[in-house]
């Protein structure tokens, strides 16, 4: 390890003495980049003008929990929503993954396919630019209505353009209800999306 390397440990990184040997034996443990996450609630997404999702709110019956949803109907085609924000200052410019938090008013164990794509813009870039290649994840609904579904992470998503910290990113998510494998005959009600990225 070079002498000018500085390693900062959080409280969670302080290991018991009995664990030191096993962890130091794998030097990649120290060299791994640090993962970060951006949470985007449904209220921050807006329906696309073409084939857009719809906004909705619901209060639970017993305990009066209130939720803002973005509804993606079982339409037989793609249903879209978008969100725009600059990437954080600690973003390293690499690929991202996404996870979807959602529910359905259905006891079916069938699945929804969620997809995401994105494009980044720097100063003086044109706003009318193509999104990057989409990546998707298939998630089975819980067999009790309004039980929370948390999807696995998508495969790595390459953001179109030259993504970097501080650049403006336009995100587009959609339900691929016209795709084989999306067979939940109910509206998928999105609660939030987690964007996972890596710091340099």
- 51 sits in the region (left: phi over 0; alpha: psi -120 to 50; else beta) called left
Q: What is the pLDDT along the chain (200 residues), one digit of tens a residue?
A: 444 434 444 443 434 444 444 444 444 444 456 689 999 999 999 999 999 999 999 999 999 999 999 999 999 999 999 999 999 999 999 999 999 999 999 999 999 999 999 999 999 999 999 999 999 999 999 999 999 999 999 999 999 999 999 999 999 999 999 899 999 999 999 999 999 999 88
- Cα-Cα-Cα-Cα dihedral sign, residues 67, 183, 52, 39: positive
CA–CA gap between residue 21 and residue 125 (Å, rounded): 50
> Does domain 34-198 fall into CATH 3.40.50.300?
no
Question: Residue 200: what pLDDT?
Answer: 82
Question: Residue 178: what pLDDT?
Answer: 86
Beta-sheet strands, E only, within 27-143: 35-41, 46-47, 54-59, 66-72, 78-86, 97-103, 111-121, 135-140
In degrees rounded to 5, what are phi and psi of residue 93?
90, 5
List the chain domain ranges.
34-198
Question: Residue 33: what pLDDT?
Answer: 60
Question: Residue 49: what pLDDT?
Answer: 97
- Asked if 167 and 161 touch (Cβ cutoff 8 Å), the reply is yes
The whole-model pTM stands at: 0.83
Question: Residue 34: what pLDDT?
Answer: 67
């Amino acid at each position: 390890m070079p002498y000018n390397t500085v390693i900062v440990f959080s409280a969670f990184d302080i290991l018991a003495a009995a664990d030191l040997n096993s962890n130091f034996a794998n030097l990649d443990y120290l060299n791994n980049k640090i993962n970060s996450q951006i949470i985007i609630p449904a209220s921050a997404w807006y329906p696309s003008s073409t084939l857009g999702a719809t906004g909705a709110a619901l209060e639970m019956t017993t305990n009066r929990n209130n939720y803002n949803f973005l509804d993606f109907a079982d339409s037989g085609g793609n249903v879209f929503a978008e969100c725009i924000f600059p990437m954080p200052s600690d973003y390293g410019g690499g690929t991202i993954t996404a996870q979807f938090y959602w529910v359905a008013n259905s006891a079916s164990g069938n699945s929804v396919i969620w997809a995401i794509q994105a494009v980044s813009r720097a100063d003086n870039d044109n706003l009318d630019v193509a999104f990057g290649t989409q990546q998707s994840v298939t998630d089975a609904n819980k067999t009790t209505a309004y039980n929370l579904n948390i999807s696995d992470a998508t495969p790595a998503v390459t953001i179109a353009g030259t993504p970097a910290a501080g650049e403006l990113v336009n995100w587009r998510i959609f339900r691929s209800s016209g795709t084989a494998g999306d067979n939940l005959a109910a509206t998928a009600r999105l609660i939030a999306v987690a964007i996972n990225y890596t710091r340099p």
